[in-house]
Amino acid sequence: MKYEIGVIGLGVMGKSLSRNLAQKGALPALYNRHVAGSEEKVAESFIAEHAVLDGAGAFDALKPFVDSLATPRKIILMVNAGAAVDSVLNNLSGLLSPGDIVLDGGNSHYQETQRRAAAWAAKGLHFLGAGISGGEKGALLGPSIMPSGNRKAYDEIAPFLAAIAAKDAQGQACCTYVGEQGSGHFVKMIHNGIEYVEMQLIAECYALLKQAQYSNDEIAAFFEAWCKDVGSYLLEISAKILRVETKGEYLIDQILDRAGNKGTGKWSTETIAQVGEAASLIPAALLARYLSFFKAKREAAQAFYAVAPKAVQVDPDHLKAAYRFSRIVNHHQGFSMIAEVAKKEDWGIDLTEIARIWTQGCIIKSDLMQELVHYLKEGDQLLMHSSIKAHIEQDHTAAKKMAATAIEAQVHAPCLLEAVNFFHGYTSAQSSANLIQAQRDFFGAHTYQRIDDPSGKSYHTHWEEE
Ligand code: 6PG
């Protein structure tokens, strides 16, 4: 008997996906490398722990693993992004036959995926990239899957992906063919960027409510109440987190305030800068994580300036409105970024489909995402949608008030502030960039265009006497 599908890499995500496959009736062949002393018989012990995997193939050598698969072989690769992917691919490619398919389900950089796919295509092999979101639980119960690459190869593996994916409100799989090579990992990268901002916004709300002397339980209660009309998975888990106690103490108060990251926020920020988009919230959220990391410097600076936290009054309803406002700006920027790059790369991405597969299974699933599925049918600029306009107009005053409160209270709230700030920039027909152009022309003869000359002709001025 040959296995219809194989999984390489039995880390947290690989294990959950394997159990998910088995639960859906696709018993997989499983491979994990052998590392003496630390990774021995990983597949075998994992299968022994889960009855659902009874009969699955256990391998710690690649050749027998590959030989156990029906052709064209279909393999899901779940190893750490970067060098580990190249190393597995190098060992694997010689063992495969033309037409075989390997799908990288890790958080790989989309340009790396493009490079790998091109190299494999030259050998007659298919390398597909797929973003997979949902964390450990999502991977087990149903993740959101963003696959891309050769369409024919995708069609071969699609039934397995659709079976394990989360289901949306209509019962459709949260898995869709995103587009040409690299687009799936690109979309997942921006998903993670949006995720960074959503997490940061909730953290800023928490910081403001803390400054207003609310307890963890009170903040959790606010978040729970907000969930009723701003349903969001990340808000929901934040409320749960705030209520967890160990040995009579809140766990949240015991956690060191230094945020880590695995790179997707950095890649999103680099890409934003490279393509020239004005998506300002993702960089703001990333840099907030970086600043958090400098704990010792922050402690020294607080002492140096003798900064005492300022007591502040926060109306939780105003804060909820500011949060709602900022989330809309975040999603506007994220989808606008996807639309822009999709046009440049000629990927033909259907944004409503992306929003749809993000309504369940993934980390940024929310009630707002459900609404966006419909709004995105009318264009990629969410802030220009009439229903979004109504939300924004309702919450704008509160968002400005909360931004001012954060400044007054000296609470670091870069995403709340930038959401308001971006909205003011985005809705200003006249910017101050005329002065920037004049400065550039003054010191560098970089020239400028005139408002009374629509031809776009470049002008230069001798700004002062020699
Ligand atoms: C998901 C998550 C997942 C993972 C990120 C976290 O969609 O399931 O985004 O991919 O949690 O890698 O990234 P950081 O470690 O950079 O926060």
Q: Is the Cα dihedral 211, 216, 218, 223 positive or negative?
A: positive
Are the beta carbons of 97 and 253 closer than 8 angstroms?
no
Whether 311 shows a pLDDT value over 90: the answer reads: no
- Are 319 and 406 in a shared domain? yes
Question: Average pLDDT, stretch 223-241?
Answer: 97
Closest ligand 1 atom to 263 CA: 16
Can you list the positions of beta strands (E) in 155-253? 245-246, 249-250
Whether 310 shows a pLDDT value over 90: the answer reads: no
Closest ligand 1 atom to 289 CA: 17
Closest ligand 1 atom to 264 CA: 16
Can you list the positions of beta strands (E) in 378-466? none
In the sheet where 6-8 sits, what is the strand order? 57-59, 29-31, 6-8, 74-77, 101-104, 126-133, 144-148
Q: Which of 181, 201, 219 delimits the end of a domain?
A: 181
Pocket test for ligand 1, best of 195, 269, 282 (most atoms within 8 A of CB): 195
Distance from residue 134's CA to the centre of ligand 1 (Å): 9
Q: Show the tokens assigned to 26.
A: 């696709």
Ligand 1, atom 10, lies closest to the CA of: 133
Distance from residue 441's CA to the centre of ligand 1 (Å): 44
pLDDT confidence band for 308 (50 / 70 / 90) = confident
Q: CA-CA distance, 217 to 230, in Å (whole number)?
A: 19
- Are 170 and 198 in a shared domain? no
Are the beta carbons of 327 and 230 closer than 8 angstroms?
yes
Are the beta carbons of 441 and 462 closer than 8 angstroms?
no
Domain membership flag for residue 186: no
**How many distinct structural domains can be found in the chain?**
3
- Domain residues for the domain of 10 are 6-181
At 71-117, the pLDDT tens digits run 999 999 999 999 999 999 999 999 999 999 999 999 999 999 999 99
Question: What per-residue confidence (pLDDT) applies to 418?
Answer: 98
Question: Contacts from 338-344 at CB under 8 Å and sequence distance 24+?
Answer: 338/186, 338/187, 338/190, 338/380, 339/380, 340/275, 340/277, 341/186, 341/271, 341/275, 342/179, 342/183, 344/275
CA distances from 317 to 58, 218, 240, 313, 412 (A): 54, 13, 20, 12, 20
Question: What per-residue confidence (pLDDT) applies to 309?
Answer: 79
- Are 450 and 402 in a shared domain? no
- Concatenating the DSSP letter of every residue in 291-321 gives HHH-HHHHHHHHHHTT--PPP----HHHHHH
Mean pLDDT of the chain: 97
pLDDT confidence band for 421 (50 / 70 / 90) = very high
CATH number, domain with residue 466 = 1.20.5.320
Q: CA-CA distance, 213 to 352, in Å (whole number)?
A: 41
- Are 24 and 172 in a shared domain? yes
Ligand 1, atom 4, lies closest to the CA of: 135
Are the beta carbons of 423 and 396 closer than 8 angstroms?
yes
Calculate what percentage of the chain has a pLDDT beyond 70: 100
Question: What per-residue confidence (pLDDT) applies to 348?
Answer: 92
Q: Which residues line ligand 1 (CB under 6 A)?
A: 107, 133-135, 192, 195, 260-262, 264-265, 362-363
CATH number, domain with residue 39 = 3.40.50.720
Q: Which of 282, 279, 277 is nearest to 266 (CA)?
A: 282
Ligand 1, atom 17, lies closest to the CA of: 261
- Are 367 and 347 in a shared domain? yes
Question: Contacts from 303-310 at CB under 8 Å and sequence distance 24+?
Answer: 307/410, 309/211, 309/409, 309/410, 310/211, 310/408, 310/409, 310/410
- Are 324 and 381 in a shared domain? yes
Distance from residue 185's CA to the centre of ligand 1 (Å): 13
* Catalytic site positions: 188, 195
Question: Average pLDDT, stretch 364-393?
Answer: 97
> Residue 459: which region, alpha, beta or left (left: phi > 0; alpha: psi -120 to 50)?
beta
- Are 284 and 411 in a shared domain? yes
At 130-149, the pLDDT tens digits run 999 999 999 999 999 999 99
- Are 120 and 249 in a shared domain? no
Distance from residue 188's CA to the centre of ligand 1 (Å): 10
Q: Could you count the other beta carbons within 10 Å of the beta carbon of residue 318?
A: 17
Distance from residue 160's CA to the centre of ligand 1 (Å): 23
Domain membership flag for residue 154: yes
Domain membership flag for residue 386: yes
The amino acid present at 372, given as its one-letter code, is L
Q: Show the tokens assigned to 173.
A: 């799989």
Whether 271 shows a pLDDT value over 90: the answer reads: yes
- Are 218 and 363 in a shared domain? yes
- Are 299 and 402 in a shared domain? yes
- Are 419 and 400 in a shared domain? yes
Q: CA-CA distance, 228 to 221, in Å (whole number)?
A: 11
- Are 76 and 49 in a shared domain? yes
Q: Which of 120, 147, 181 delimits the end of a domain?
A: 181
